[in-house]
Amino acid sequence: MRLVSFLGKGDYRETDYRFEEQLYRSRFVLRALADALRPSEIRVIATDEAWAQHGAVLDAELTAAGHPAVIRVPIPTAAEPDDLWQLFGAVVATLRDSQTPILFDITHGFRSQPFFAAACIQYVQTIEPNGKPVRVVYGEYRSGEPSPIWELTTFLDVLAWSRELLLLLRTGRADGIVLPTEALGRELNRTWAASGRVGPRPQIQLLSQALARFGDDLTTIRTGSLLVGDRPTASGLVDAIDRTRGDIERYLPQLAPVIDQVRGLAAPLDTGGERLSTPGGQRALLELARLYRRLGRYGEAVSVLREGWISAGASEACDQPGPTLDFEARHAQERAWIELVPSSRSVAEVRNDLQHAGFKKQPNTREWFDRQLTMLLERWEQAIESTVTTTDSGSSLRPQEQSLALSKEQDFDRLLENALRDSPVFLAWLVDQTKFAGQGAVYDASRSDHPWSLVDLETMDPATGETRIVRRGSETDVLLLLRYPDGRRVALHIENKLEGGRFTPDQPAMYRARAAQWLGDPKYGSYVDFQTILIAPQSFLERHASGAAEFDVRIRTEELLRQLVHREADRSDRTS
């Protein structure tokens, strides 16, 4: 062991230092520790002044007691920035070059020196995570009674634990926290057994095992093991945290808030026992994809997004990994998803770019990936929620049709665009519902590929009541451009909702903000005025009256479908 200690200029008086239930009499804490631990080497960190005052006496005492010769680590006296960095470097070097475990005594550290000791230990443990273990102690001088030497290592352990837990929260890597959790569990169990097994047995080792399994599955994208089966590791981690709550609050109370954050990371991945094809399973998959995106792990995010979306509404033969997975059924489900879900092409573009490491003439930026993933995750969520509400309303759709509810909405968008382009009768009817009626505007262009952009939206912070600006990605289902005889263009931004649909957060307000932001933009036709239109069933308009009211025009789907029948008749007459 290397024994390291600060040495100051204080008036050190002889006392009985108590360490690990034994008493050691000396003026110096360092001498008491040396007698107790019999270190193989001793380093003393001291200024020239401190060494001149106490160095010779201390060295003589230690030598007479048969301890190794003291090696002094010189440090500057002043507190200028350069001196502080010299102190930092001296302490770090003393910690890094040790070949044995270290005990660091900070008793006689002057002013900021104990703080520097803690900072240096944390620094070394960060850059050398497999370095030698360090203990920290402090001797409290007491006159007329034994002076205790306090063990402070636990506080360093709390910092190290917090660092590793935060690393788990930021990267999803659990390796760094598993070993110290396991070691603490073993130590607590030994202490419990040695004390006569009084009270319940500590359960911290359950937490280390759960962290290890969860971290391994998250690292390797083991979706089935994470989310489903007899012992899904995501819900297993939540259960382990709940079962060890008492031990955490008793032995590591300072870590409880960070542990709660870890629980918050895993809890949304609980499927509630449902299969991955069900709404509960789909929501868990969606949360897993979002977790990977937050961690900056875009490859994993798009993989989960793709496989998860494919699983929506699939049969039990192919909806989740495991020994019963039918590959032929899975391939058929995948082909149906590619054919029926227009967003599958965008998913493939993101996935291929990542898998091929950007080997293309114009590699996409991180911002592009972030925008694409945001958009695709929102569309997947809409598909899930459309499935749920369609099922709740007693729809006669088969499961796979329900799972593709969003694509049916998109099919309706394309049908609507085709009707607006091909049928003057239908176009005139729609325009008559807006403020542009009777002004001679004719069809100019349209698109139903859900044009998307980031939009700045002014909202009120519910906590403070203050106005703030948030930036979000949002899209228009169908964009229709009308042209006046003088060449000016106006736009209709159309949102289409199915019976079981719902608004995403701030969606109605985003429509107006987006339409206003695109005014005069050549990318969107340089239009000079606009209105927003909501097309939805009567039941939707009644359930979501507040949000629907934010659109300039509201059209019942039932009425629009009747007009589309007339559109088909109009087209038949013109082609006969």
Cβ-contact 1, 37 below 8 angstroms: yes
Instruction: Examine the pLDDT at 406 and tell me if it is beyond 70.
Output: no
DSSP letter at 499? T
- CB-based contacts of 390, cutoff 8 Å, min separation 6: 397, 402, 405, 498, 499, 500
Percent of the chain with pLDDT over 70: 93
Instruction: Examine the pLDDT at 39 and tell me if it is beyond 60.
Output: yes
Q: What is the mean pLDDT of residues 152-176?
A: 80
Q: CA 381, CA 149: separation in Å to the nearest integer?
A: 58
pLDDT band per the 50, 70, 90 thresholds, residue 165: confident
- CB-based contacts of 107, cutoff 8 Å, min separation 6: 5, 6, 29, 137, 138, 139, 149
Q: CA 319, CA 281: separation in Å to the nearest integer?
A: 10
Q: What is the mean pLDDT of residues 134-147?
A: 90
User: How much is the pLDDT for 555?
Assistant: 96
Q: What is the mean pLDDT of residues 117-122?
A: 85
Helix (H) or strand (E) holding 456: strand 452-460
| Position 373, amino acid | L
Helix (H) or strand (E) holding 73: strand 70-74
User: How much is the pLDDT for 183?
Assistant: 76
**Two tokens at 266?**
């895993």
Instruction: Examine the pLDDT at 76 and tell me if it is beyond 70.
Output: yes
- CA torsion, ordered 397, 400, 401, 404, to nearest 10 deg: 140
Q: pLDDT tens-digit profile of 314-356?
A: 888 999 998 999 999 899 889 888 877 778 889 999 999 999 9
Burial of 97 (0-12, 13-18, 19+ CB in 10 A): exposed
pLDDT band per the 50, 70, 90 thresholds, residue 385: confident
Lowest-confidence pick of 199-203, 209-213, 292-296, 506-510? 199-203
Q: CA 409, CA 388: separation in Å to the nearest integer?
A: 15
Looking at CATH, the fold of the domain delimited by 2-151 is given as Rossmann fold (3.40.50)
Mean of per-residue pLDDT scores for the chain:
86
Instruction: Examine the pLDDT at 537 and tell me if it is beyond 50.
Output: yes
Q: CA 177, CA 237: separation in Å to the nearest integer?
A: 13
Instruction: Examine the pLDDT at 402 and tell me if it is beyond 60.
Output: no
Instruction: Examine the pLDDT at 416 and tell me if it is beyond 70.
Output: yes
Helix/strand number for the chain, H first, E second: 24, 15
Burial of 292 (0-12, 13-18, 19+ CB in 10 A): buried
Instruction: Examine the pLDDT at 169 and tell me if it is beyond 60.
Output: yes
Q: What is the mean pLDDT of residues 275-301?
A: 93
Alpha-carbon separation of residue 397 from 310, 392, 434, 445 (angstroms): 18, 12, 34, 34
Sort strands 41-46 and 70-74 into parallel, antiparallel or unpaired.
parallel
Q: What is the mean pLDDT of residues 503-510?
A: 88
Lowest-confidence pick of 164-168, 324-328, 376-380, 536-540? 164-168
pTM over 0.95: no
In the Cβ-directed half-sphere of 243, how many Cα atoms lie within 13 Å?
A: 17
Query: Domain residue spans in the chain?
Result: 2-151, 169-270, 282-401, 405-575
Instruction: Examine the pLDDT at 575 and tell me if it is beyond 50.
Output: no
- Please tell me which of 55-64, 256-265, 454-463, 555-564 the model is most confident about, judged by mean pLDDT: 55-64
pLDDT band per the 50, 70, 90 thresholds, residue 80: confident
Instruction: Examine the pLDDT at 6 and tell me if it is beyond 50.
Output: yes
**Two tokens at 328?**
């032929």
In the Cβ-directed half-sphere of 374, how many Cα atoms lie within 13 Å?
A: 14
User: How much is the pLDDT for 565?
Assistant: 61
Q: pLDDT tens-digit profile of 512-530?
A: 999 999 999 999 999 999 9
Higher pLDDT, 77 or 405: 77
Q: pLDDT tens-digit profile of 238-266?
A: 999 998 888 888 877 777 888 888 898 89
Q: What is the mean pLDDT of residues 90-104?
A: 91
User: How much is the pLDDT for 410?
Assistant: 65
User: How much is the pLDDT for 158?
Assistant: 73
Cβ neighbour number for residue 479 with a 10 Å cutoff: 24
pLDDT band per the 50, 70, 90 thresholds, residue 148: very high
- CB-based contacts of 82, cutoff 8 Å, min separation 6: none
User: How much is the pLDDT for 566?
Assistant: 55
User: How much is the pLDDT for 526?
Assistant: 96
The strand order across the sheet containing 529-536 reads: 442-447, 478-483, 489-496, 529-536, 553-556
Give the largest Cα separation in the chain, rounded: 117
Q: CA 356, CA 360: separation in Å to the nearest integer?
A: 8
Alpha-carbon separation of residue 223 from 266, 290, 305, 324 (angstroms): 13, 14, 11, 15
User: How much is the pLDDT for 212?
Assistant: 92
Q: CA 134, CA 32: separation in Å to the nearest integer?
A: 18
Instruction: Examine the pLDDT at 14 and tell me if it is beyond 60.
Output: yes
- Please tell me which of 77-81, 171-175, 460-464 the model is most confident about, judged by mean pLDDT: 171-175
Instruction: Examine the pLDDT at 130 and tell me if it is beyond 80.
Output: no
| Partners of 458 in the β-ladder | 469
Is 542 in a helix, a strand, or coil? helix
Cβ-contact 321, 310 below 8 angstroms: no
**Two tokens at 214?**
């969860």
Percent of the chain with pLDDT over 90: 47
Q: pLDDT tens-digit profile of 458-486?
A: 877 666 777 778 777 788 999 999 999 99
Sort strands 489-496 and 478-483 into parallel, antiparallel or unpaired.
antiparallel
Q: CA 164, CA 152: separation in Å to the nearest integer?
A: 19
pLDDT band per the 50, 70, 90 thresholds, residue 2: very high
The beta-carbon contacts of 326-335 under 8 Å, at least 24 apart in sequence, are: 333/400, 334/310
